[in-house]
A = this chain, B = another copy of it.
């Protein structure tokens, strides 16, 4: 049973299979973990139902965000133990005059209070983690992300955070185009619409990424030998 069953009909799933979509890429040997936009502004300062949580931050997804963060924690712990890199693409506070198309399309996003930009301690960065401030949906657009990943000699990106239909999806499409293997743990990403969440998981599974439960990703990462820093050889 996949998250999109019952939303995408069997017939339409067959149509994608006929076009040859949906094969697995498999996991590489040098993964990095991306924690995308898990900040108080997307989950609230406490787990609350959606309609309560948006009163604190209009951009919050509420308690489903907290549930997904709960699935990120063991992944993060495993990446740290193995010495695999962890990167934090995140939204930096907006500055007047830099709104562009975003300010027209989603004006509320320009006025989030500073607390909203903080990381919850459960998944907060450690010294040495790469912080990637971004202004656009994709973690790659207008950022040093690719340069970091080349420096770190990464071949696989495990993408967690939010929203499934927004920054996670946009980052997965770019990562795929850059020829990274992309893995999306389906219960460690979240969105304010369940249907859009599920259909975006379907789209990514068919075209850009391997999509599976976080527990399964965890098992695959645990099975990998720990990281030997690439630059030590010289």
Binding site for B on A (CB under 8 A): 7-9, 12-13, 15-16, 18-29, 50-51, 54, 58-60, 95-98, 100-102, 104-109, 127-131, 135-138, 141-151, 153, 155, 165-166, 169-170, 173-174, 176-182, 192-196, 199-200, 202-203, 207-208, 230, 233-234
Distance between A158 CB and nearest chain B CB, rounded to angstroms: 15
Q: Given that A150-B150, A155-B153 are contacting pairs, would A20 and B106 also be in contact in the complex, using a CB cutoff of 8 Å?
A: yes
In the assembly, what is the distance between CA of A108 and CA of B23, in Å?
Answer: 11
Q: Given that A25-B101, A98-B130, A179-B100 are contacting pairs, would A147 and B142 also be in contact in the complex, using a CB cutoff of 8 Å?
A: yes
Q: Given that A96-B128, A199-B196 are contacting pairs, would A106 and B147 also be in contact in the complex, using a CB cutoff of 8 Å?
A: no
Q: Given that A95-B131, A196-B202 are contacting pairs, would A107 and B147 also be in contact in the complex, using a CB cutoff of 8 Å?
A: no
Q: Is the CB of A21 within 8 A of B147?
A: no
A192 interface neighbour in B19, B50, B129, Cβ under 8 Å = B19
In the assembly, what is the distance between CA of A96 and CA of B129, in Å?
Answer: 9
Q: Is the CB of A193 within 8 A of B97?
A: no
A195 interface neighbour in B12, B98, B102, B109, Cβ under 8 Å = B12
In the assembly, what is the distance between CA of A105 and CA of B13, in Å?
Answer: 15
Q: Is the CB of A135 within 8 A of B106?
A: no
Known pairs A7-B195, A137-B176. 9 more at Cβ < 8 A?
A: A19-B54, A98-B144, A101-B182, A137-B173, A137-B207, A142-B143, A150-B150, A150-B180, A166-B207
In the assembly, what is the distance between CA of A169 and CA of B21, in Å?
Answer: 17
Q: Is the CB of A105 within 8 A of B144?
A: no
